[in-house]
Structure formats: structure tokens, C-alpha cells
Amino acid sequence: MIDFYYNAGPNPMKVALFLEESGLPYRLVPVDMLRGEQFSPEIVRLNPNSKLPIIVDDGVTVFDSNAILLYLAEKYQLFLPAAEHRGQLLSWLMFAATGLGPYSGQAVHFRHYAPAPKDYAQQRYSFEARRHYDVLEAHLAQRQWMVGDAYSIVDMAVWGWIRNMDHVLGPEARADLPNVVRLVQEIEAHPAAQAAVGLREKHSFKAEFDDEARRAMFRHLEPAK
């Protein structure tokens, strides 16, 4: 049994998708980040960086969404491209981990949450997020799936973020990203994707972005005493 520490954010959703697609048995452990539960001793013990997702699989702890995807795919030999595509697998996983995800996250922060003045930061991160989406668009214009000729963990890794493209870039970006939109739609037609998205309904996660949530998410504004 896999213990899956999660919330409904983009990174945990990648792992939720894998777990649902694979049919592996797992137990949900909700962690409400807007309440600051990611800083609890239990979570810090599992991931000193206090981020989600985390899994504990037969006593083995793995954190970071793309590390989890690779660990599970290799352990259970599921959703891996053919061996000759190993280099591309690693390259695109790292593209998602070090570029697409971080720039999308910062674009969301400065677009929706940061206090003014923020023009330079918003322009910077919106530009870089869009540039990464344009890289995906050009790549997907030549193929159905991210790596090789079959659905893999790389598609799951990018899906976690690109399914939120309206929030990241604004809905107007869809018109220029038809292949990115296509990938989202193809994955979200899977019953497993619908089940993964539906996990958020199993627990009462905090929805209000109030002072408690700001203290939990933006600790640089009020350092812990």
C-alpha cells in the first residue's frame, strides 16, 4: 500500500493521475497547505522542504512529483517509453521539473496574488511561462505524445500544469496553443484523469485565501517567530 500525501495542486495531481492510471493500491493522506499543515513535524520528517506530493511505498519515502513518477514507473514498469527514448524521457521530465512548473507557479503568484508594485516580475514570469508553453506547443505539433509513440509519465508530468493554462497564462493563450490543448483534452478523456481530479472532493480543503492562508503560503511576508 502506498501512502500518498497530497492536495489538489498541480504537482500532486500528476502523481494522482499515475496512481489512478496504474490501479496500484494507495491511501490518501490530505495535507491542507492553506492551513499550514505542510510545516507539521510529520511532513517535515518526510520532506524537509515541506512540499507536496510525498509517497511512502513499503517504507521508502519519495518526494518531488517528477521523482515520484520516475520511481513508480521504474519500480512497477508502467508508462515508460521504450529504452531508446531514455534520454528524451529524462530531458523532458527535467524540463517540466525545472522550467515549466517553476515558471508557471511564479506566473500564477505574480498574476493573481502578489502585492503591487509587480509589473516587472509579472512580465518576467508570464513571459517565461509562455515561452515554456510555446516549447511544448512546437514539440507536440510533431507528435501525439511527449516522448516516443505512447502515453507516458512525461505526459502526466506536463499535464499537472498545462491543465491550468487559463490560470497561468490567461484563457486567451489557448488559441495559440492548439496542440497543448489537445494533449490536455486527450488525457482528461481518461477515466483515471477524471478520478484524479475528483480526489479533491474526498476532503474538505480550505478554500478561502485569508490571512491564515497568506501566512502559510507567503512566509517571507511574516517570518516564523
Which stretches of the chain are assigned E, i.e. beta strand? 2-6, 26-30, 54-57, 60-63
2-78+195-221 is a CATH 3.40.30.10 domain: yes
- Residues 29, 46: contact at Cβ < 8 Å? no
CA 155 to chain centroid: 11
Domain boundaries of the chain, sorted by first residue: 2-78+195-221, 83-189
Measured N-to-C along each axis, helices 101-108 and 153-162 cross at an angle, to the nearest 10 degrees, of: 10
Cα(12)–Cα(94) distance, integer angstroms: 17
pLDDT for position 117: 87
83-189 is a CATH 1.20.1050.10 domain: yes
Residue 183's alpha-carbon distances to 132, 136, 155, 199, in angstroms, are: 15, 10, 8, 21
* pLDDT tens over the chain, length 225 residues: 999 999 999 999 999 999 999 999 999 999 999 999 999 999 999 999 999 999 999 999 999 999 999 999 999 999 999 999 999 999 999 999 999 999 999 999 999 988 888 999 999 999 999 999 999 999 999 999 999 999 999 999 999 999 999 999 999 999 999 999 999 999 999 999 999 999 999 998 998 888 898 888 888 776 544
User: Coil, strand or helix: which one is 2?
Assistant: strand
Residue 190 half-sphere exposure, CB side, CA atoms within 13 Å? 19
What residues have CB less than 8 Å from 15, skipping those under 6 apart? 4, 6, 53, 55, 65, 68, 69, 72
Give residue-wise pLDDT tens across range 103-120: 999 999 999 988 888 999
**Domains 2-78+195-221 and 83-189 equal at CATH topology level:** no
Give residue-wise pLDDT tens across range 56-113: 999 999 999 999 999 999 999 999 999 999 999 999 999 999 999 999 999 999 999 8
- Residues 72, 78: contact at Cβ < 8 Å? yes
Within 10 angstroms of residue 9's Cβ, the number of other Cβ atoms is 18
User: Coil, strand or helix: which one is 123?
Assistant: helix
Residue 206 half-sphere exposure, CB side, CA atoms within 13 Å? 16
Measured N-to-C along each axis, helices 10-22 and 65-76 cross at an angle, to the nearest 10 degrees, of: 10
